[in-house]
């Protein structure tokens, strides 16, 4: 159901085709399946599934507490409702090289189009916080090789994320990137780059696909699509944006209702019933069972 036409294999092929154009593609974060549907409807090229968002949604900090079972289950729920390719945050691969292989197998079987694995020690922390620690380049190379070997669909995107810039500096980050590409990574995710100069420096030293993380309130300058395109980046994620937008609105609305004792003054900030039903394809389900949808939306705005 869900009225999704593209198979997981078709979504991965679609992602591969878009990357080969050389044009920057945009992957906003989806904190729930319905947000993925909204991302597709608006016209974005893909959906990003953030580990930080998932941890936050469970009321926990992003320090590696979530498990492969939790992340893969939620990722599959999000990916299956959209025709767009979905990329998921796999943290440190949920363990050593053998665990990384199982991680790739799990995500591939669940219909995901790609994932990134980072070179932080476990337990990890948010990529834009201080006092991170990274594993050795050799350890990360083993994880990447294991991930590449485990995939069955060549179009499943293996992304190597490096957090070394904030720990070891840009030169050692570049050295790691070269090693990760040689190990078989399809794309590099250099985390917490500070400004255009650092983004440009990374682009000059590798021909691999590059991912830019435009997360708010972090260490990176927020660059526009035009700027990232000019810098030669291939994919941009907005990982926590939709969750931040939603939570701010929920918090403000709840406070106002608490003070005023009613929701009449926040109705204009809410999505209407009609719009919600459009987004979840309510009427289309009538094709399966006319008893599901047998009323008029008039008066249910």
Tens of pLDDT, residues 181-237: 999 999 999 999 999 999 999 999 999 999 999 999 998 999 999 999 999 999 999
Residues 161, 163, 209, 233: which is the catalytic one? 161
Start-to-end CA distance of the chain, whole Å, equals 26
**What are the pLDDT digits (tens) for 128-178?**
666 689 999 999 999 999 999 999 999 999 999 999 998 999 999 999 999
Q: 230 versus 2: which is more confidently predicted?
A: 230
pLDDT of residue 138: 98
Positive or negative CA dihedral for 206, 212, 218, 223?
A: positive
Query: Is 128 known to be catalytic?
Result: no
Residues 31, 40, 45, 62: which is the catalytic one? 62
Q: Over 80: is that where the pLDDT of 111 sits?
A: yes
Query: Is 171 known to be catalytic?
Result: no
**What are the pLDDT digits (tens) for 5-24?**
999 999 999 999 999 999 99
Residues 76, 91, 119, 163: which is the catalytic one? 91
Residues 191, 209, 234, 244: which is the catalytic one? 191
CB 147 within 8 A of CB 120: no
**What are the pLDDT digits (tens) for 47-96?**
999 999 999 999 999 988 999 999 999 999 999 999 999 999 999 999 99
pLDDT of residue 127: 59
Determine the distance from the C-alpha atom of residue 91 to the mean position of all C-alpha atoms in its chain, rounded to a whole number. Answer: 11
Domains of the chain from N-terminus onward: 8-239 (3.20.20.60)
Query: Is 191 known to be catalytic?
Result: yes
Q: What are phi and psi of 244, to 5 degrees?
A: -65, -40
Residues 16, 155, 213, 234: which is the catalytic one? 213
Query: Is 155 known to be catalytic?
Result: no
Residues 74, 116, 128, 244: which is the catalytic one? 116
pLDDT of residue 130: 66
Nearest by Cα to 152 from 43, 12, 56, 288: 12
pLDDT of residue 283: 83
Query: Is 130 known to be catalytic?
Result: no
Query: Is 48 known to be catalytic?
Result: yes
pLDDT of residue 126: 72
Query: Is 70 known to be catalytic?
Result: no
Query: Is 26 known to be catalytic?
Result: no
Residues 16, 126, 151, 186: which is the catalytic one? 126
Q: Over 80: is that where the pLDDT of 290 sits?
A: no
The CA distance from 219 to 232, in Å, is: 20
Q: Over 80: is that where the pLDDT of 293 sits?
A: no
Mean pLDDT of 102-108: 98
Residue 17 CB contacts under 8 Å (≥ 6 apart), including other chains: none
pLDDT of residue 300: 54
pLDDT of residue 132: 81
Residues 40, 118, 119, 186: which is the catalytic one? 118
Query: Is 62 known to be catalytic?
Result: yes
Query: Is 91 known to be catalytic?
Result: yes
pLDDT of residue 3: 86
């Amino acid at each position: 159901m869900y009225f999704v036409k593209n198979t997981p294999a078709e979504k991965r092929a679609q992602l591969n085709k878009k990357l080969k154009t050389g044009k920057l593609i945009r992957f906003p974060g989806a904190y729930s399946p319905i947000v993925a549907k909204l991302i597709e409807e608006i016209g974005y090229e893909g959906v990003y599934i953030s580990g930080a968002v998932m941890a936050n949604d469970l009321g926990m900090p992003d320090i590696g507490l979530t498990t492969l079972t939790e992340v893969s289950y939620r990722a599959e729920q999000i990916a299956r409702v959209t025709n767009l390719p979905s990329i998921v945050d796999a943290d440190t691969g949920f363990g050593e090289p053998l665990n990384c292989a199982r991680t790739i197998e799990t995500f591939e079987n669940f219909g995901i189009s790609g994932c990134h694995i980072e070179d932080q020690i476990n337990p990890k922390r948010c990529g834009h916080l201080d006092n991170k620690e990274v594993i050795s380049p050799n350890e990360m190379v083993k994880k990447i090789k294991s991930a590449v070997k485990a995939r069955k669909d060549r179009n499943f995107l293996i992304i190597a994320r490096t957090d070394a810039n904030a720990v070891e500096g840009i030169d050692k980050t570049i050295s790691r990137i070269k090693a990760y590409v040689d190990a078989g990574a399809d794309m590099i995710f250099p985390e917490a780059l500070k400004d255009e100069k650092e983004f440009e420096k990374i682009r000059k030293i590798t021909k691999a696909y590059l991912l830019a993380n435009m997360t708010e309130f972090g260490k990176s300058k927020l660059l526009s699509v035009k700027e990232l395109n000019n810098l030669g980046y291939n994919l941009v994620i907005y990982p926590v944006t939709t969750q931040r937008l939603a939570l701010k609105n929920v918090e403000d609305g709840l406070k106002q209702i608490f003070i005023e004792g009613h929701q009449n003054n926040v109705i204009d900030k809410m999505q209407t019933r009609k719009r919600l039903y459009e987004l979840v394809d309510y009427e289309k389900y009538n094709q399966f069972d006319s008893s599901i949808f047998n009323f008029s939306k008039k008066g249910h705005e």
